[in-house]
Structure 1
C-alpha cells in the first residue's frame, strides 16, 4: 500500500485576490480525503504591489531574474503565505509536525509557453524555514523543459476526484473559471485531456476595477444591469486562439481588456461575462467527445450572469452545467487541494503532466523540494 501523506496546498491565482489554503490526505494516486479550507484575501495595497510585479516581470528573459521591486515583492508574498499557513493550522487546531508537505504555487508573473518561459515568484526555502514544513514548489518548469506548455497542472487531480465519485457520469468536463479558465476532460476510457480555454475572471476584474473602483463584479451584480455588445464579444471570440490546431496555455495579458470607449460600465461587464462563458464552450469543441456534463469550480461560478450564459450555451448542445458544490466538491478550494495533491506526487516522482494536458512529450514529474 502506498504511503498516505497529509499535505497543505497553497494557491494564489491569476485573479490575485488572495491565498487559498486547503488540507488533503492522499497517496498522490487514488486516495483523496479532503480536509478544511481557508481563504485569505489580499488587501488593495498588496494587490497593487502584485500588479507592479506583473509590469516589471515583462522584461524577464531568464526565469531566475527579479528586476525592479520583484525580489522584495517575492519575499513579501512568501511571508504572507507563511502567515496563511500558521493561521490555517491555528484555526484547525493542527500542529505543523502533522503536515508532511506544502504544495506552494506562488504567483505567476509571466507565462510565455511559446518561449518555454514561465515565472512564479515565491521563495520555497524561505517558506520551509518560516513554517518548519517541507515545501514542494516550482512545479511547472520541468514540464516546459520537456516540451510542455507548463499548464494546466490540475487535470490529474480532477481525474482523481472523478475516480472517487460513485457512478460518476463520464465523459465529464471540469471547468475552472479563475483569472484564466481551463478545462479537464475525463473520458469513459480514462482519457485525460486538459488545456486553457480562454479568459475567465481577469477581463471582468480589470474592467470593473478600472471603471468602478471595485476589485471584481460580486455575484455578477454589475453585469446584470447591462447588455451584450455583440461587436465587442466577437472581437474576443474570433481570436485565432479558439481555432488553432494546437491548444496553447495563456498568460493573463494575452487577452487585453477593452478600452473605456468600447462600452459603458454595465455593458462591458455583461459582455465580458458572456465572453468568459462562450469561450469555454468554444474551446470545448476541441475535446475528443462533447461532454454531457460540465462541473464548474473557481471564482467565476459565483458570477450568476456568467453561469447562466454558460448553462444556456451548453444546453443548446445538449449538455448540463453544475457548480462544484452540487457535485459534492468545494469550488473555492479545488485548486489549492490540487496543489497539495501535486506536492505528494512530486515527492514520489509521479507524473504531474501528460501529453494530453500540457503537450509535454511524455508524462513527466516536476517540482523542487525545500527542507525546513
Structure 2
C-alpha cells in the first residue's frame, strides 16, 4: 500500500443496517502518519426512519423496478437531509468535509449472481448536501467474483488491531474478522442475529428484545436449536455472505415448522446466535474479541457468548459500539479518495483487491 508520509481527511460516514433501527451518522477525522492510520470521532448519532419510509424499506424486496428506483431517490434525499441537520446541529464547518461515504441500505444481495443492491441514491445525497458523496462500495468486488462482504475488516486491520485479535459486529447478522499471525485477515458472516430476533419480537409488538429479557425468561427448544445448527452454511469453512433472501429461504422455514411459542423462538434464536458466534471464535483460536453493533447491548446474548467462548470479551465505549461501522465506511471513503484498495480479497473471495465505491460530485 503506497501512501504519502502524512494525510488528513475529514469525512461523514453513513450506515444503514439490515436491522432497520435507523441510519448511523459519524463525523470523523482520519490521519496517516509514521506508517499508521488513526482517527478522531467528533460527532455521531442515529437518525430513526420516519414511519412511512420504514414501511417502504421493509417491503423493498417486493417493489417493482419503478417503485424501487423511486425509493432509492427518496432515501438519498432523506440521507442528505439527515446530514444537513447533523451539520447544523453540531455546528460543523461544511467546507471542511472532504466527502460523505454512504453504505446505503441493502435490498438485494446475491453475489453468486453477480448482484448486490444498496439503495440511497448517491447523486441525491450530493445534490441535497452540496458535498461530494461516495457510495456503492460493494459492486466492484462482486464483479470481480467476490462476496462484496464483509468490508469492515480492513478497518479492523488498519484502525483497531491493537484492541483484540478478533472483531465481532452483532447487527442484523453477526459477522467477524480475525487478524491472522501472517498479517492476513479472515472474515465472514456467521449467522443471523438481530434480524431474526427482531423479526419475532415485532410479532409481540416490540421492536427488539431489550437486554434479552424475553430470551432469558425462556428455555430454548432443543429440537429447533439442533435443526438450526445443522444448516449447511454453518458447516462450510467460510460461508457466503448472508442476506434477507437467505433468511426467507433457509431460516424461516425451520422456525415455521416447529410448534413453539414466539417467546421460545426468540430464546432459541438468541442461543443459536451465541453458540454459532462462539463456535467460530473458538475454531480460529481467538484469544480476545472486540464486540460492537446493536446486539452488544443485549446483555443476555453477550452472557451466552461468554458462556461458550474460550477467550476474553472486550466491550468498548458506547460510541464505538454504536458507530464503528459508520466510522469504517467513512474510512473506506478515505481509501477510495487515495485510490487504495478498500476490499480485502482474502476476505471477500474476489480475484483481486479493488478500490470500491462510486464518486458523485456535488
> TM-score surpassing 0.5?
yes
Kept in 1, the 8 Å contact 2:12–2:25? The answer is yes
Q: Map 1:257-336; keep pairs closer than 5 Å.
A: 257=252, 258-259=255-256, 262-284=259-281, 287=284, 290-314=285-309, 318-325=310-317, 330-336=320-326
Deviation at 1:293, TM superposition (A): 0.7
For 2:134 and 2:305, the matched residues in 1 are separated by 35
Query: Which string of whole-angstrom CA distances, capped at 9 and with x for unpartnered residues, describes residues 224-271 of structure 1?
Result: 221111111222211110112443111123133323853213211111
- The counterpart of 2:47, out of the listed 21, 30, 40, is 40
5+ long unaligned stretches in structure 2: none
Structure 1 residue ranges without an equivalent (≥5): 57-65
Are 1:251 and 2:236 an aligned pair? no
**CA distance in 1 between partners of 2:27 and 2:333 (Å):** 12
| TM-score (norm: length of structure 2) | 0.91
Distance 1:94 1:136 in 2: 19
Contact 1:242 1:282 in 2 (8 A): no
**1:179 lines up with 2:179 in the alignment:** no
CA distance in 2, matches of 1:222, 1:146: 43
1:16 aligns with 2:20: yes
Q: What's the counterpart of residue 53 of structure 1? A: 60
Tell me how far apart the structure 2 counterparts of residues 94 and 246 of structure 1 sit (CA, whole Å). 42
Superposition pairs of residues 331-350 of structure 1, within 5 angstroms: 331-350=321-340
Alpha-carbon offset, residue 324 of structure 1: 2.8
Residue 278 of structure 2 contacts residue 308 of structure 2 at CA under 8 Å; is this kept in 1?
Answer: yes
Change in CA separation of 1:213 and 1:44 when aligned onto 2, cut-off 3 Å: farther
Asked whether the equivalents of residues 279 and 308 of structure 2 are also in contact (C-alpha less than 8 Å), the reply is no
RMSD of Structure 2 on Structure 1 (CA): 1.9
Shift of 1:302: 0.9
Q: How many residues align?
A: 350
Structure 2 residue matching 1:254: 3-state secondary structure: helix
User: 1:102 is paired with a residue of what secondary structure?
Assistant: strand
In structure 2, the residue matched to 1:111 is: 109
Is the deviation greater in 232-241 or in 255-264?
Answer: 255-264
| CA displacement at 1:144 relative to structure 2 | 0.8
Q: Larger helix proportion, structure 1 or 2? A: 2
Q: Is structure 2 residue 73 aligned with structure 1 residue 75?
A: yes
Q: Does 1:199 align with 2:197?
A: no
Distance in 2 between the 1:300 and 1:87 partners?
27
Is this contact kept in 2: 1:180–1:252, CA < 8 A? Answer: no
Contact 1:198 1:283 in 2 (8 A): no
What TM-score, normalized to structure 1? 0.89
For 1:78-97, list aligned pairs within 5 A.
Answer: 78-97=76-95
